[in-house]
Amino acid sequence: MAIIKLSAVERRKLSIFLTCLILAVLAWLFFSLSNNYEYEVKTAVRFKNLPLNKAFNPLQSDTVTLTVQGTGWQLLFTKLRIYPKELKVSLSTLQKRNFVTFTNQLKEINKDYSTQQKIINVVPDTLYFDFTTRKVKKVPIKLLTKLTFIKQFGQSKDIILDPSEVTVTGPQNELDKISFWPSDTLVKNNIDNDIIGNVNLSKSEEPNISVFPSQAQIKIPVEEFTEESFNIPVKVINNREYYNIKLIPEKVKVVFMVPLSLYENISEDDFEATVNFDLWKIDNMHQLPVVIKKRKAYLRFRRVEPNQLDFYIKK
């Protein structure tokens, strides 16, 4: 294969040629990308100015196709993404008719977008709605939490929510599906004091459902816990034939954690220890596991000693 050898002058001419070619291509790209182009992008519809006395159901998808006018630079670097990603549509005209048109709102809609981007068309241009009478329902707030406490600390009493209920408004068939309203997840770490503050309630995913209020005040009582133990008698359950059963031992030691404010009010009566005699009659178990039931919510059971009991039947 022949190797072309260039003189110093020829190499310099080739270098100048390639440099000019690259500059020409860059200049062409710059001017081309500076021109305006039209491109399509799909985006979600978000409704505003909802009708007060009507519950509505959109009769089409909540996604529309926009024809956007922008520069080639935007087309290249944003990859057809526009900001904001939602298209806000006013439903104020639904007081008089059952549809809205984008054509009449394009000027207002474009105020939410960059001045270098302009929406020139929306498909479909008209959104139709089905109406029902708006109903009202009160449901309890469900507080969602993700809490971690410093060692020896924990929740000591019931959570206080103010308000404890929200008012949900919408069509009856949607309200029938709602039994509670969740909050945003409250995340706290290394807790050693009462939690007091506000929590936002989850936003409705359905455009025809409204919720009031949007926040609730919360108080989560937090205390230091201490360890305590009691020796309590064990009861035999499911002894239907009234056998004379002797447990060994007859009492077990229950170890638990208790909030300091409840320490003086705790007694053996707050716990119940049982063994199930069916485990011997049906499953032929020779030791019966101990089950502990506590009667106060914020006692933390840790262990029972022993956790299985020997027994014999007296004749």
Q: How confident is the model at residue 119 (pLDDT cuts 50, 70, 90)?
A: confident
Q: How much is the mean pLDDT over the chain?
A: 83
For the cut 90, the answer to whether the pLDDT of residue 286 exceeds it is no
Q: How confident is the model at residue 78 (pLDDT cuts 50, 70, 90)?
A: low
Domains of the chain are 34-132 (2.170.120), 136-220 (2.170.120.40), 225-314 (2.170.120.30)
Residue 267 tokens, joined: 């007694």
Q: Highest mean pLDDT: which of 2-11, 27-36, 201-210?
A: 201-210
Considering the chain, what percentage of its residues have pLDDT values greater than 70?
A: 85
For the cut 90, the answer to whether the pLDDT of residue 239 exceeds it is no
More confident residue, 128 or 116: 128
Cβ-contact 171, 55 below 8 angstroms: yes
The alpha carbon dihedral of 154, 158, 161, 165 has a sign of: positive
* Dist CA 217 CA 96 (whole Å): 39
For residue 291, the surrounding DSSP H or E stretch is strand 291-294
Model pLDDT, residue 189: 94
Neighbouring C-alpha atoms within 13 Å toward the C-beta of 244: 2
Q: What digits encode the pLDDT tens for the residues 151-199?
A: 999 998 899 999 999 999 888 888 889 999 999 999 999 999 999 999 9
Does this model's pTM top 0.85? My answer is no
For the cut 80, the answer to whether the pLDDT of residue 36 exceeds it is no
* Dist CA 223 CA 286 (whole Å): 42
For the cut 50, the answer to whether the pLDDT of residue 1 exceeds it is no
How many CB atoms sit inside 10 A of residue 153's CB? 17
For residue 36, the surrounding DSSP H or E stretch is strand 36-48
Q: What digits encode the pLDDT tens for the residues 79-88?
A: 545 555 778 8
Q: Which residues contact 231 (CB under 8 A, 6 or more apart)?
A: 251, 252, 253, 254, 268
Q: What mean pLDDT comes out for the span 94-117? A: 78
Model pLDDT, residue 30: 63
Residue spans of alpha helices (H) in the chain: 8-34, 72-77, 106-109, 172-175, 278-281
- Per DSSP, what are the bridge partners of residue 228? 256
Q: What digits encode the pLDDT tens for the residues 129-144?
A: 777 777 889 999 999 9
